[in-house]
Structure formats: structure tokens, C-alpha cells
Amino acid sequence: MKMFEERILRDGKCLPGGVLKVDGFINHQMDPALMMSLARELARRFGDEPLDRVLTVEASGIAPAVLVGYLLGLPVVFAKKKSPSTMENALSARVRSFTKGRDYDVCLSRDFLHAGDRVLFIDDFLANGNAAQGMLELIGQAGASLAGMGFLIEKAFQPGGAMLREKGIRVESLARIESLDGGRIVFAR
Ligand code: 5GP
């Protein structure tokens, strides 16, 4: 998506360690019009799949996921990073955080992910694929199945995308970044 790449070039910032800062328009302050365009494109790409629900992980995945769910007419559920005392019968998985460099547990109530569900996972970034791997585990525990994964930004210089595609998973990313070396954002073609 050309307009998304242009926005990333204009407002994104490269941080040390291969991190792209997009907090002015994606994951702190959000541009709702941009987010809606991105969600429309993800909904268009996955519109041909039979789907029962959209799954994401808090917090940055929620905005794109809820818009995709709205456009496809599907319920949206997000995995929580802290287990609320009110949650019974939870599914849980351990995830390594790329940006924080530590492990955390994600949990999801079995009430909102059922055996036989076809699930679309949506998130803001794909880097090493750890969050995606954790979601695969939750989907497996529930006896649900994955229809595909959609990301706003894939950092193609990290192994997550290749790892997921090797498993035969349909992965769609709206911007694919080949390199952030030297503070320069280069898109994969
Ligand atoms: P992964 O689990 O694929 O290694 O990393 C994905 C998660 O880490 C995303 O949910 C996202 O929140 C965060 N993340 C990974 N890379 C970046 C990055 O370059 N910038 C920002 N802002 N978040 C990132």
C-alpha cells in the first residue's frame, strides 16, 4: 500500500535494535482514517475466507482488529496480558516480547474461542513471530483453526514471516520492511 509506505517514511522513526517507532499514528496516538483504510485492505484480502472471529493481542492489535471485525461482521476477541480474577477456564500461552525483551503470559477465556472456530489473527507488527506463535498455541488449545494472519507492518529482516509461511499459514502484511539499517527505512519489493 503506497500511501501507507509514504506515511511510514514521513512519520516513522528508526530506533536502535531494528525497532520502528510509529507511535504518532499507529500505536499510541492513532490516525483513525488511516487505520480504517488499513482495516479495509485487510478485510478485502481475507474477505474470501470463511471466518468465525478475529483474534488479536492487547494492546496495539486491538484498533486494527476491531475495525477488521466491524467490516467483516465478526466478533473480535483479544488475548490479555494479565489474567483477570474473573476469568474462569482460561487458555494461556507464554510469549517473548520483542520490544520489552522479556516473557509474558497471554490468556483468553474459552467462552470466546471455541472448538471448530475459523480464526483470523490481526496485529500491528510481525517481527520474530513470537506473538503469532502464542496465538497459534491458544487456537490449538481451543481446538479452533487459523484461517490467516494479517499485519499492518512486517519487518521482513526478522524471521517471523518466513517461519509462519513455512508452516503453510496465509500471512498478509500491508507494509513489508526490508531494512532499517543506518536509520533508513527500506521497503521489500
Ligand atoms: P513478534 O512477536 O513478531 O516478535 O513481535 C510482534 C510484537 O512486538 C507486536 O505485537 C508489536 O507490538 C511489537 N513490535 C515488534 N517489532 C516492533 C517495532 O519495530 N516497533 C514497534 N512499535 N513494535 C514492535
Mutation to probe ligand 1, out of 21, 27, 125, 157 (largest number of atoms < 8 A from CB):
125
- Residue 51 is predicted with a pLDDT of 98
Pocket, ligand 1, Cβ cutoff 6 A: 19-22, 27, 60, 98-99, 123-132, 155, 160
Confidence of residue 55 (pLDDT cuts 50, 70, 90): very high
Q: Annotated binding residue at 89?
A: no
* Ligand 1 center to 150 CA (angstroms): 14
Confidence of residue 86 (pLDDT cuts 50, 70, 90): confident
Query: Which pLDDT tens digit goes with each residue over 101-136?
Result: 899 999 999 999 999 999 999 999 999 999 999 999
Q: Where in the chain does DSSP place strands (E)? A: 13-15, 19-21, 53-57, 76-79, 90-96, 103-109, 118-126, 145-155, 171-179, 186-187
Q: Annotated binding residue at 20?
A: yes
Q: Could you give the ipTM of this predicted complex?
A: 0.98
